[in-house]
Amino acid sequence: MRLLAKGVIVSRILLFCILFPLITISQAYDGASDWPQYGGADAGTRYSNHSQISPENIRTLEIAWTYRTGELDRRSAEMNINSSNENTPIIADGKLIVCTPFNRIIALNPSTGEEQWVFDPDVSTGLKLPFQYVCRGISQWIDSIDIEEKHCKNRLFIPVNDLRVIAIDAGDGKLCKDFGNNGTVHIQQSRPPAFEGEIRLNSPVAVVNDVIVVGSTIVDGYRADAPFGTVKAFDAKTGNKVWEFDPIPKELNVGGGNVWTAMAVDQRRDLVYLPTSSPSPDFYGGLRPGDNRWANSLVALKASSGELVWAQQLVRHDIWDYDLPSQPTLLEVNVNGIQIPAVIQTTKQGYVFSFNRETGEPIFPLNEIDTPVTFINDDSLSKSQPIPSKPPQLVPDRLNPKDAFGFTPIDYLACRRKISKYRSEGMFTPISEQGTVFYPSTAGGANWGGNSFDHKRRMLFVNTSRVAQIITMIPKADKDSPQNVSLTSKDDISPQNGTPYTVKREWLLSPFGAPCSPPPWGGLTAINVDSGEIIWDVPLGSIKDKLPIPLPIKTNLGTPNIGGPIATQSGLIFIAAAQDNYLRAFDASNGTELWKDKLPAGGQTTPMTYMAGGKQYVVITSGQHLWFQTPPGDYVVAYALPDDLHLDN
């Protein structure tokens, strides 16, 4: 009997060892059956192989259920204003898992929206502006070593705003007490924060085999000696630290370079891909000569050891806040009949970089463009910057007075005069005391919402903002006198403490409040990943609801947007993100808008989809976004087809 029991255990272990890599690969590839991780799968493809909801029946899509998290009632008005809803739920242990801006985790019945359990980490309430309470997503890990079904075999990792990573059981929401200190790992920083909230966690951790990798968000532009952007890895079971990696070596005494957005994972190759941020301070480089590697870079590390495998710096000596904002996307690219394992990185400048994810070699050659000369004392820019030869840049990068937009001759002429006042020499024009046009703005181009990839149609879908900003360097009387204007002023001013300048940011707007740059002001683009060609490009969002009275003008002009798209096998793209707060469905083949529905609050996040009880659901969280001042809310909204239209998937 004992030998038989051992034989059964050995055979189970062997079976699991065979099946687990296949399960891992399927989840990391673009055909994940449900939504097990923040980006749909480890690869960040935001793709679903479900096809019950299709272009043929999308017009009948309706709300199936709505759930309220209760955060509007639980928090003060001040705290709710100081938060942004950016969460994409996941499916774990058969439950729909939602994260609120204040890191409360709620498990719902995916068919009915009925609450199953709630976990509250009791986040600090002392975090102030420019901090935002945000929880973009959480991650799950299933113990592959212990084959026994027990508590916390399937666990969820919560990145908490106040620098904690917490592990809870996906089944009951209780703490995994074998992780760290009674379920919690405190992320220790090598340089103390200047104020509570200067450093925080708001993007999901990366889960690579049995390791979790944790980045951090650091307030931009506050001080030259900002905290280091150290990336840390921990054992997923015990919480013990495994390694740490500094994108910029600490001996250079340069802060920032952190990873504030989501990472992507190649489980089979034991690789994690880090999109790194700008060094500190983000608009003045006089105290940090050189390229500042590996800030503003796509970095591939061995997940088990933290060893640097390869890196590509996409912006050298960044003074434009052009950090890498979005989760990389892992996919296979076919070039001249050769299949290449690829990683794609979109940027705030509207570039789409494609690299061999094993070697870091560019799939499409990189070109160098000259950088205009800076007139700021003691700063020395890189003479050129790398840009991809394919695809074409997704957004305009130069704004001349003749390009000004206006609904009437009055605002057109006002915008034209405004543009002529400022320095505007195209991409990578340095900031100046005169004021410099940033086009696209520091918000993008692309941002944290990421991309979706349809492997069946070979298309990558990217949403972008296309508005201009004016950024001005303001000399200080005393560079060593600390300033806190960014914490209290209504103006968007970065103190850049420890430097000779403060920095003022403002949108380039007409007297009527519309962008001076030509529309569309936001768009959705489809790219063939094999050829690098743009297949279609359409406006995303409408200004119709912004008009004080109905006017006989075109309103489908696009809007700035925050959030991302998802794609489905049936040929649909679902996206909200725009300032008008609609969830929309587009035809993947040609970009035609097929359906939309007004959300009860802001829609600056990314939806997801899954099957439950024979129905396909599309779910999105809806609440305010601090940047866009969209309507407050604490909603989870699920859409499905009417019962008489549900078909077997």
Q: Is residue 326 within 8 Å of 275, Cβ to Cβ?
A: yes
Please give the Cα distance from 69 to 432 (Å, whole number). 46
DSSP H helices in 45-115: 71-74, 77-81
Looking at the annotation, which residues are catalytic?
321
Contacts of 409 (CB under 8 A, 6+ apart): none
Cβ neighbourhood burial of 544 (10 Å; 0-12, 13-18, 19+):
middle
Contacts of 91 (CB under 8 A, 6+ apart): 34, 35, 36, 97, 110, 610
Structure tokens at 63: 């709300």
Structure tokens at 108: 């719902």
Q: Which helix (H) or strand (E) holds 145?
A: none
Q: What are the φ and ψ backbone dihedral angles of 167, each rounded to 5 degrees? A: -110, 130
| CA neighbours closer than 13 Å in the CB half-sphere of residue 46 | 32
54-72 burial by CB neighbour count: b if 16+ within 10 A, else e? bbebbeebeebbebebebb
Q: Assign 610 to helix, strand or coil.
A: strand
Partners of 470 in beta bridges: 437, 506
End-to-end Cα spacing for the chain: 45
Which conformational region is residue 92 in: left (phi greater than 0), alpha (psi within -120 to 50 degrees), or beta? beta
Partners of 48 in beta bridges: 568
Please give the Cα distance from 625 to 85 (Å, whole number). 6
- Amino acid in position 173: G
Contacts of 534 (CB under 8 A, 6+ apart): 391, 392, 394, 525, 526, 527
Q: Is residue 327 within 8 Å of 263, Cβ to Cβ?
A: yes
Structure tokens at 19: 């099946």
Q: Assign 15 to helix, strand or coil.
A: helix
C-alpha angle 552/557/563, rounded to 5°?
A: 140
108-145 burial by CB neighbour count: b if 16+ within 10 A, else e? bbbbebeebbebebebbeebeebbbbbbbbbbbbbbbe
Give the pairing of strands 501-507 and 615-622. unpaired
Please give the Cα distance from 591 to 421 (Å, whole number). 37
Strand ranges across the sheet with 139-142: 139-142, 154-160, 164-169, 184-186
Sign of CA dihedral 430, 433, 439, 441: positive
Please give the Cα distance from 585 to 594 (Å, whole number). 6
Q: Is residue 352 within 8 Å of 387, Cβ to Cβ?
A: no
What number of other Cβ atoms are within 10 A of residue 648's Cβ?
5
Please give the Cα distance from 180 to 160 (Å, whole number). 15
